[in-house]
Amino acid sequence: MRSLSGPVLAGVLAVPRTDNSMFIVNFTSQELAIGLRRATQDRLSAATLNGKALLKPFQVLWFE
């Protein structure tokens, strides 16, 4: 998965899409971090994320 710098933690699901975007879902009630290989934009919030993203409990991101 091009945007991620490594495997995701248990409790996080990364789903690649055919348009080269990706859904990232935190299925836990804890805040979890994911590493990012490059700066990317979340389509849902329009926030630009770089280096590391903190996923709030049950948060969904949709990366470019």
Any domain includes 25: yes
Confidence (pTM):
0.83
Check residue 1 and give its pLDDT.
Answer: 53
Structural domain range at position 32: 12-63
List Cβ neighbours of 47 (8 Å cut-off, separation of 6 or more). Answer: 41
Any domain includes 2: no
Check residue 64 and give its pLDDT.
Answer: 78
Any domain includes 1: no
| Phi, psi of 5, deg, nearest 5 | -85, -10
Token look-up 């495997």 returns 7
Instruction: Kindly report, residue by residue over 4-52, the tens digit of the pLDDT.
Output: 888 888 999 999 999 989 999 999 999 999 999 888 999 999 999 988 8
Any domain includes 6: no
Our count of domains for the chain comes to 1
